[in-house]
Amino acid sequence: MTDNQTVDFFAQDDAAQQGSDDAVQPRISQYLAFSVSGRELAIGLAQVSEIVPYERVSSVPGTPSYLRGVTEIRGRWTPVIDLALKLGLPEAPITKRSCILVLELHIQGESLPVGMVLDGVATLLDLDISQISPPPRFGGGVEVRYMQGLIATERGSLPLIDFAQVFAGAELEHIAARAITANNQASLTP
């Protein structure tokens, strides 16, 4: 064996070790734990646009029961969903801790803010995504179709909500179309 072959062998071994080190590097993401109808749930922080106090939500006749109404946030009409009702949980009363978590959804080629009523925000979690288990086949207090997975914490497992599934469907698209129309009309009025 020549010196070059020896060097090449160790170079390949070092490269393989570096590749394996990269494979075990933690992939940390932040998640927001919050409370809905007395249950603690979580969402990826990257999906959250902002959190605002619950105030001045105007009801809209003829909409689904889970739609609390609309509110104006930063000059845009925002539909406000009662997340408890949408997830099939009992409705919780509005308290001074209640807030609206705002997400930006992309519906019909438009970016639309959608708010969700929460009992309150609990904490911010820094987790390696390998700590997220697949959702159970059934149970867990939340419809399984709305779950992206489970996050293990010292207080138990938190359902990680998949808002793409929560907001899938023609029903929400109809609500979103109304809000987009309202926002477009509001921007045209002086």
- pLDDT (tens digit, 9 = 90+) per residue, 105-120? 777 677 788 999 999 9
pLDDT at 41 over 60: yes
Whether 15 maps to a domain, the answer reads no
- The domain in which residue 92 lies consists of 26-188
Whether the CB-CB separation of 28 and 41 falls below 8 Å is answered with: no
Amino acid residing at 69: G
Q: Which is more confidently placed, 50 or 2?
A: 50
Has residue 62 got a pLDDT over 90? no
Arithmetic mean of pLDDT, 78-83: 92
What is the structure's pLDDT at 172?
65
Do residues 103 and 116 lie in contact, with contact meaning Cβ atoms separated by under 8 Å?
yes
pLDDT at 181: 62
Residue 130 inside a domain? The answer is yes
pLDDT (0 to 100) of residue 16: 43
Establish if 52 belongs to a structural domain: yes
| Residue 115 in domain | yes
Q: What percent of the chain has pLDDT over 70?
A: 71
Please give the sequence-ordered ranges of beta strands (E in DSSP) within the chain, or none if there are none.
28-36, 39-44, 48-53, 67-73, 76-82, 99-107, 110-118, 120-128, 132-133, 147-153, 156-161
The verdict on residue 80 lying in a domain is yes
Assigned domain for 90 exists: yes
Question: Considering the domain boundaries, does residue 10 fall inside one?
Answer: no
pLDDT for res 100: 96
Q: How far apart are the C-alpha atoms of 165 and 169, rounded to whole Å?
A: 8
Higher model confidence: residue 101 or residue 132? 101
Segment 6-15 shows an average pLDDT of: 39
Q: Classify residue 4: in a domain, yes or no.
A: no
| CATH number of the domain residue 132 falls in | 2.40.50.180
Total number of domains in the chain: 1
pLDDT at residue 51, as a whole number: 94
